Amino acid sequence: MAGEVQLLDNTDLTNHDTAIDSDLPAKTWPPVIVTGEQIAAEIDRLASLPRPANGRRQTQFVHPSACAIGRGLNPGVQVTLDVLLPGEETAPIRHNSTQVNFCIRGEGRTVVGGKRIDFRQYDVWNQPSFVTYYHRNDGNNLQARLTYSNAPLLRLMHVHLVDENPPLHSTAAEQAPKDPAAQSPFGAFQLTADGAWLMPYEILINPTAVESKALHWPWQAVKENLDKLAALGKSYVGRRLYLLYNPMTGRFNGTTPSFFATITIRPPKIIDRPHRHVSSAINYYFQGSGFSVVDGTRYHWRAGDLMVSAPGWAIHNHASLDEPVYELTIQDQPLNIAMESLLWQESLKHPPAVLGATTGFATNRAESA
């Protein structure tokens, strides 16, 4: 029998919220680092195991503050380490969570909805929701990938749906209506002069479909463009990065609808200015070394480390040491823009803005080139 619903008074409600000038998020979900040595040891351990029935040699990294249901590395993002030996292939699967994959060792291919993506080390690709996929190691060396997913949020809502026996070539696009006659003749209409509308059920259950494609960002092509940002002078106040942008996310600026993947280059001895944002960031450093200052504490990292580098709303900045740094960052910014919750404070000297709902920020790039 279900328990009784709790009744919380105003004091209880306030105790569960966070003041806008608080550093509480960094204390409840503090930065954590999985070292390159730990990841390498886990790759070796997974490779030594007998092949599982579904072919998925996989370890999930779970933050010590995560609840048993969500099991994220931050509250909204799951990160797994996936390993395939040469010649191995995973069983097909699909689920309603979306993913970003990042190859950290070896090479191979992923087949998503019948589309083949051949990848190498440091390539990135996304996987749309509820589209059948599998991975294969076509190379002669061990393959290792980091996989990022929005599964924790779906688990917390008790709606993470996984199909272990899917049709091999199903795609989301095939399920969308294509016949113009199937479109509703009942339109939405404006109700009030200030812009409130009414929408009928026929449109509610048949929203405009936007094709969600599996896209591939090859590292060598990304690096060619990324390295040009190293020429920006030390006076540049922005971050030298490119978003791996998926056009289907529109103004929400994502790689998937839930989060973005960016790749950053940090020339030697570059220190970012402190800033903060509601979105939480996970960094994988694959070249160089440096440190991050989060809520006043310094954390050192180096190539091969995976780090929850910026808990939501914690003041932080990053710095490189004596060599260039390359890093992949996963951040749940698009989800927060969609929820109109993305407070972002680019400079602590100025008030935060709600990105996506108000005018955002500018950099001095034109003067720094």
CA distance linking residue 61 with residue 251, whole number of Å: 30
User: DSSP 3-state assignment of 89?
Assistant: strand
How many CB atoms sit inside 10 A of residue 66's CB? 17
Residue 308 predicted with pLDDT over 80:
yes
Residue-wise pLDDT for 46-69, tens only, equals 999 999 999 999 999 999 999 999
Segment 81-107, tens digit of pLDDT: 999 999 999 999 999 999 999 999 999
Query: For residue 242, how many other CB atoms are within 10 A of its CB?
Result: 16
The length of the chain is 369
Per DSSP, what are the bridge partners of residue 102?
A: 124, 146
Mean pLDDT of 344-349: 93
Amino acid at 112: V
206-221 exposure pattern, b = at least 16 Cβ within 10 A, e = fewer: eeeeeebbbbbbbbee
Q: What is the per-residue pLDDT for 22?
A: 61
Q: What pLDDT, on the 0 to 100 scale, is given for residue 38?
A: 97
- In the predicted model, what is the mean pLDDT of the chain? 91
Q: By 3-state DSSP, what share of the chain in percent is helix, strand and coil, each rounded to 5?
A: 20, 30, 50
Q: Which residues pair with 124 in a beta bridge?
A: 102, 217
Q: What's the pLDDT score for residue 16?
A: 62
φ and ψ of 333, to 5 deg: -65, -50
The CA–CA distances, whole Å, from 70 to 62, 158, 167 equal 9, 9, 28
* pLDDT, tens digit, 9 for 90 and up, residues 239-284: 999 999 999 999 999 999 999 999 999 999 999 999 999 999 999 9
DSSP output for 196-227: -EE--HHHHTSPPP------EE-HHHHHHHHG
Is 310 exposed, middle or buried (CB count within 10 Å of its CB: 0-12, 13-18, 19+)? buried
Domain ranges (residues) in the chain: 27-160+215-357
Residue 173 has pLDDT above 50, yes or no: no
Structure-token pair, residue 18: 């966070």
The predicted structure's pLDDT at residue 1: 47
Give the tens place of pLDDT for each residue, 18-46.
666 665 556 778 999 999 999 999 999 99
- 8 Å CB contact between 124 and 217: yes
Residue 260, class by beta-carbon neighbours within 10 Å (0-12 exposed, 13-18 middle, 19+ buried)?
A: buried
Q: What is the pLDDT of residues 122-160, one digit of tens each?
A: 999 999 999 999 999 999 999 999 999 999 999 999 999
Instruction: Find out if CATH 2.30.110.10 is the number for domain 27-160+215-357.
Output: no
What φ, ψ does residue 330 adopt, rounded to 5°? -110, 130
Cα–Cα distance measured from residue 282 to residue 74, given in angstroms and rounded to the nearest whole number:
8
What is the structure's pLDDT at 367?
73
Residue 21 CA: distances (Å) to CA of 12, 64, 66, 244? 20, 25, 24, 31
CB 214 within 8 A of CB 127: yes
